[in-house]
Each structure stands twice: as C-alpha cells, then as structure tokens.
A and B are shown apart, each in its own frame.
Chain A
C-alpha cells in the first residue's frame, strides 16, 4: 500500500465533477455514491434528477442499473467513490450481464475512505478498479489520471455506448461539505416528480 501517492494526484474531484455536470444533458440521470461523491455532485448543483446517497454503501451501481433498465432512452451516470465501489464489485458483473447501453460508471478514486478519517482503501495497493471492470466484461474501461485524458474521454463519458467504466484518480483532500437534502423519501419523490410529473406521488 502506498499511503502517500494520492496526495499528489493532479486531478481534483470537485473540478472533475463540475466539468462533467456543467455539460450535463438535461435528460441525464445521476446517482451519487455516499460520502464525498454526494457532496461533489451537490457542489455542482442540487438538481431533482440527482439521486444523492447518504447510505446504501455498495449499492450505487445497482441503483444505476435498475434505473438504466427502467429508462432506456435516458443517459444514466453513476458517480461514486473507490470505497463504495469496492463494497459492490459484484454489481459490475451484474451490469456486464445486462449490458445497458445507456449506463456509465465513474469512480472518483482517491484511494481513501474519506468520511472515516482518510484511511487507505485497497486501491492504495495494487487493486485496479478499471481492470476489475474489464475482467467482468466491460469492453470500455479506462483509468484517467490527468486532465488531458479526462478531456479527451469527456464525450465518451457523456454519450459513449455503454456500459462504460471510468476510474478517475483524484487527489486525496478533505473539502468543505456541500450537503443535499437528507430525507430519502423526499429525494425519491423529487426525482420521480421531475421524471413523471406530479402523478408520480399520487
């Protein structure tokens, strides 16, 4: 395990997410994994078609898959962290079997458990999440470690044919919390009303 290297990665998580979501297609549906990815997505703007998680660790990709099957004409982007992804590695195999063309998964990999004191995750060792995704059958799976690569893959992240997996190596940093609403039932209803209109809660 290298406990130091991610302190020097050039990509910054908030900037990566901001760039991604500033160019967001209005129909795009976002699932944010618990912890820092939820704060990052909210820092870029608290939108009804975001589903930011405060729990359900290991479930972000599966939520994205259920959504992708239900809404095949919309783009689904799961933005999660390395710790959350490690808890649900099996879900990558499940996605691969379904092979939804409208699903992209982007991991913000700082090699740390950010909410519990920045302890190392397995990716601080030799665990390569993009290689895991590839091994489960993702034909498009990339490691992104610099701005140039990120910029060149942006169209792919936004519109490429899925399922797609991107592991973005980001600097380990503690940033100010930007919190979305905490009430899960509200977040769910807000999301469904934005998709289906007020009938969704009748």
Chain B
C-alpha cells in the first residue's frame, strides 16, 4: 500500500497496531537471528521449533525472527513472550534442547529453568523519561 497522505498513514498504523494486538494474544517465540545468533546455530533452532509447531499442530504460538538481542555469551537465544506481557529470555538454546522451549515454556510456564537469563533492561523508559 502506498501512503499518499497523513490520513493513509494513520489508517495504516491503526491496522498495524490491530495486527500486533491480535498477534500479542499468541505466545511469541522471538528467535535471535542476527549474524551472531545464526553463527551459533539459531536457524537450526528455528527449523526445529517450526517443525514441532507444525507437526504437533500447536496453536496460539507464533515464531518471530528478530535481530541481535545482545546476549552474545548465551547465543542462540529465544525469548518467550506470553499474552499477559510477561516474558522469559532463554539462552544457550541449541538444536538438542530446542524442544524444551515448547515443553517447559509454551505448554507450561516454567520460571526456574537453568537456561533462563536474568535481563536487566528498564522496560518502562518511554513512560517515566528514564530517570534513575
């Protein structure tokens, strides 16, 4: 779609946000597929997850390809974002433990698995102006 004026953009943004709201109802698996993640084997993890979701017909799960998340020491990484907005970041997800993501974090909501990375990113800076 070509945006020819401000009204077009407004409409497009509304539909994009609606699309996001709809997809936020799924459990999202954000796979870090930058050069760094890919080098560590993230594309194989992606394939494994994709096949599993298809073969087991798991609904309400969405795979999302994202760029570098910044946790190079624990690549490949998969972040699981739940419909309620909560999320866990999982590190060192290789081909052999990729399916744990589905078993432990999609079918269940495990909060104490060994590959959970503690993140320390301020999440609400766009609201409070980032004041320390």
On whether the two chains bind one another, the answer is no
